Amino acid sequence: MDHLDEISVKELQDALDNVEGNKPTQRLLASIAYKNGVTQTELAEWHDTGRRTIYSWLMRLDTDEPLEQAVSDAHRSGRKRKLSESQQEEFEQTVHEPPEEAGIDAPAWTPALIQEFLEETYGVEYSYPSCRRLLKEAGLSYQKPRRTAAEADEDDQEAFRDEIKKSERRWTPQ
C-alpha cells in the first residue's frame, strides 16, 4: 500500500463521522476499504468509476489539511447570472403584472414572450427552458386552461373556445 501509510483506519472512520454529503462519504469509504486491502481496481468497479479516479481520491488524503476538508470539494459558484440583482427584481415585479402593463399586447406571459421581453428590455438572450426557469423562480406556475362541461349553452362554449385560442397556456402567480 503506497497510499495512506501515514493515516490510520481509525482516523478515516472518525473523519467519516464528521463529513456530510455523498462524495466525501464515498471517498472516505473507498479509503477505508483500500486500507483494509481492497485494490484500486476493485474499488473502481465497486464505485462504477475509473481506476484513475480512485487514485485521485486516495492522493487527496496525502495532505496536511484535516481529512474532512481533503475529501470535500471546494465551492463552485457556477456561471454568473445574465441579469443583475436589480434587473432580476424588476423582471419579477413585471411578470407579476399582466403583459399589457409592460406595453405588450398579449393575454399572459409565456416563455417565448419572456425570451423576447428580456432581449428587448435588458439586451440578454435566454433559452426557452431558461425562460421557464425564470418564470418559476419569479413565483409563477404553469396553468393550462380547463375544459367546461359539454352541457354548457352554446354561447358559453363559443366564449370558452375564443378564450382558449387567445390564452393557450399561461404562467400565473402561485
Q: What are the pLDDT digits (tens) for 16-58?
A: 998 988 999 999 999 999 999 999 999 999 999 999 999 999 9
pTM here is 0.48
Residue 166: its pLDDT value, please? 63
Residues 90 and 141 in one domain: yes
Question: Would 124 be classed as within a structural domain?
Answer: yes
State which residues form the domain around 90.
85-173
In a shared domain, residues 42 and 111: no
Q: How many domains does the chain have?
A: 2
In 34-66, which positions are buried (b, 16+ CB within 10 angstroms) versus exposed (e)? bbeeeebeebbeebeeeeebbeebbebbeeeee
Range 73-81 average pLDDT: 84
Residues 64 and 143 in one domain: no
For residues 65 and 105, membership in a common domain is answered with: no
90 shares its domain with 146: yes
Alpha carbons 3 and 58: distance in angstroms, whole number: 7
**What pLDDT is recorded for position 40?**
93
Mean pLDDT for all residues in the chain: 86
